[in-house]
Structure 1
Amino acid sequence: MYTIRPIFPHELDMFSAISTPVHRQSSIRAYLEQMFEKGAMRPDWCFVLEKEGTGIGRVAFWTLPGKASPLDIFLLDLPWDDAHCSQLADLLWQRLLLTCRETGVTQLGYVLDSPAAAPQWQENRKERKHILSKLGFELQRETSRFEWNSENGIAPFALMPAPDAGIVYRSLTEVGEDAFLDAIMRGSTSTLDRLIAKERAEHGPLAQAREIFQGLQSMSYEPDWWELAYAPDERVIGFILPTKSPTFATIGYIGVLPDFRGRGYVDQLLNRGVSTLVQAGEKFIRADTDLCNHPMAKAFLRAGFHQFAERSEYRSSLLL
């Protein structure tokens, strides 16, 4: 007899222990408590799959703090070796769809990282990909993941040029939203990011730029962190939009306009973005870039980042 139900707040230990070795359970519980406190997760968004009262699977929803509906699936764990795993995934999915209907969700995302790491520990990669495909999730993007951590003793900007005194930086407060939307539109021209190129072609440059901008606005940032870089002749060189997610600081979005590419300006912008976050007290910064965007990956390495994972981003458009 299988049942699926949301957990109660006092069941965090049980939920953290499902399909998880003992030495990893504390990190999962700590993450859940942090997300509950920030408003990115809720106990009634955490579901346990039980067989005769014993937890054998789990799944949870995640969102950005302040949002009332889920954005992504998190902590998807099933009895991967069970002959009935596919059917159990269907049962779990139907329960998730009920919550999606109740909250008006029409799309859900899921990210699959390699190698497996905290807090999700996504082992059984082959089985996960099979279940995602069966449930209607489509692969949207593949990225390399980079991080900079001051505690590792990595010197930031070790291989980067000194700041260019000819560049003038103007913040969002100074130039306004329209100037940023225009720069993002122009910056997405001939982009090496396949998802951005796809969305630009499908929805148009302005809609795609606005989606990026508003998505970043859902995160934590200060308006003076977001800057456009100008050449001495007042032409826009590029943009940098550092932000903070619920768990780490991130470069957010960075771009150099086509006329200025290949001249090292990406290093200047990345230097500026990292410096902004460091001055705000951040000691841990992450960033993703499309697997095809080799110039950006090299820029991260020059800035003292190191690659720690690859990520596959999936999305399902729900037929509710």
Structure 2
Amino acid sequence: MDIRPIRREELEVFANFSEQADLNEHFLNYLRDMWDEGYVRPEWCFVAEEAGEFVGRIVYWSLPSLGKPFICDFLELPWNANYLAVGTQLLQQSLTQLQLHDSDSMEYQLDIPSPYSTYLEKRIELLEKFGFSLNRETIRFEWKDTQTQITLSNRLTFRSLNQVGEDAFIHGIMQVSSQTLDRSILHDQAKLGLEQEALERFHTSKALKYNPTWWQLAYTQDETLVGLIMPAENDGGAIIGFIGVVPEHRGQGYVNDLLQQGTLTLKSNGAVRIRSDADTVNVPMVHAFQRAGYRQFASRREYRYSMK
């Protein structure tokens, strides 16, 4: 079995794994867009080839300016045959060919429901046997512009990244991440420490599409930092990239003010749909999205594999 990146002229065959023609067409158009925008590269699209036939595929994804992938997706295998053998070889050899560092990790995001998450139990079996571990489970939220009035906070003052500077903003990320309920952040803090996790989160977030005026620290009338909001855009559109309240001000409803500010920022810049994820164990954040008119459209299981 040969594991290799595809050639550009093989794109249509690469997309043609499903028996549903419309799904194949959707994936083909999506992949072309991702190539054009730099989220995916041909050398990050791998196939398992046997006797001249594609029997498996996987796509690796990144933010365009980061230069190396950190999410794998669109895994297709012979699910009713030797999927474990093919999948293990495909993952192992494609990850090796990507030449990632020992300190890097790879994520696999399993959305439910999704036409790309068929054979759910077999996918999970493969991931876990290969060495992926469950990082967190999230509720996927979506806000749609229904002309409802968004009430802005009258008890907070917002200052943008341009106004406060990067050092103050990174310090703000570190403060709101303290004692977080989000398992993904907790895992990264355990590995990197609180300060380094905040620094890396800031620089990774800067690879998203955003305007520095969108990212804001929030203060009370006596100039005490309450929290922050970081709206942005990714390949799927507008998102609430990060939101948080400092521990000493939690439980006072400030997350509602922050979420309203972020939602209005994106709406004012043309967004008619906004998405975000909340860890299922972060109940206060889940309730905040629900109060703000966000509706669940899916669930997600996030798996992570450490290269070392």
Unaligned regions of 5+ residues in structure 1, if any?
none
Q: For the residues of structure 1 that align with 2:153 and 2:66, how far apart are their CA atoms? A: 40
TM-score, length of structure 2 as denominator length: 0.93
Q: For the residues of structure 2 that align with 1:11 and 1:28, how far apart are their CA atoms? A: 14
SS, match of residue 225 in structure 1: coil
Question: Is 1:142 paired with 2:137?
Answer: yes
What do the CA deviations read for 1:195-250 (whole angstroms, capped 9, x no partner)?
Answer: 22333344322112112211111111111110011111000111001111122211
SS, match of residue 223 in structure 1: coil
Q: CA RMSD for the aligned pairs? A: 1.8
Q: For the residues of structure 2 that align with 1:231 and 1:312, how far apart are their CA atoms? A: 36
| Equivalent residue, structure 1, for 2:120 | 125
What do the CA deviations read for 1:11-68 (whole angstroms, capped 9, x no partner)?
Answer: 2221111134212111101110110011111122212223322222211111111232
Q: For the residues of structure 2 that align with 1:43 and 1:189, how far apart are their CA atoms? A: 39
Q: For the residues of structure 2 that align with 1:20 and 1:12, how far apart are their CA atoms? A: 16
Q: For the residues of structure 1 that align with 2:105 and 2:186, how far apart are their CA atoms? A: 20
- Letter paired with 1:65: P
What do the CA deviations read for 1:74-125 (whole angstroms, capped 9, x no partner)?
Answer: 211101110x221112221232133222x557321111111124xxx11111
TM-score, length of structure 1 as denominator length: 0.90
- 2:213 maps to which of 207, 213, 224: 224
1:202/1:6 CA distance change after superposition, 3 Å: closer
- Letter paired with 1:134: K
Percent identical residues: 40
Question: Is 1:89 paired with 2:82?
Answer: no
Question: Is 1:80 paired with 2:69?
Answer: no
Give the paired residue count: 307
Deviates more, 1:177-186 or 1:58-67: 177-186
Q: For the residues of structure 1 that align with 2:118 and 2:219, how far apart are their CA atoms? A: 46
Unaligned regions of 5+ residues in structure 2, if any?
none
Q: For the residues of structure 2 that align with 1:133 and 1:272, how far apart are their CA atoms? A: 39
Q: For the residues of structure 2 that align with 1:260 and 1:115, how far apart are their CA atoms? A: 36
Q: For the residues of structure 1 that align with 2:201 and 2:250, how far apart are their CA atoms? A: 21
What do the CA deviations read for 1:273-302 (whole angstroms, capped 9, x no partner)?
Answer: 011111111222110111011111111112
- 1:276 maps to which of 243, 265, 279: 265
1:18/1:177 CA distance change after superposition, 3 Å: same
| Equivalent residue, structure 2, for 1:29 | 28
1:204/1:216 CA distance change after superposition, 3 Å: same
User: Is the 8 Å Cα contact of residues 140 and 299 (structure 2) preserved in structure 1?
Assistant: yes
1:202/1:125 CA distance change after superposition, 3 Å: same
What do the CA deviations read for 1:99-156 (whole angstroms, capped 9, x no partner)?
Answer: 222x557321111111124xxx111111011111121111111111101123xx4736
Shift of 1:179: 1.5
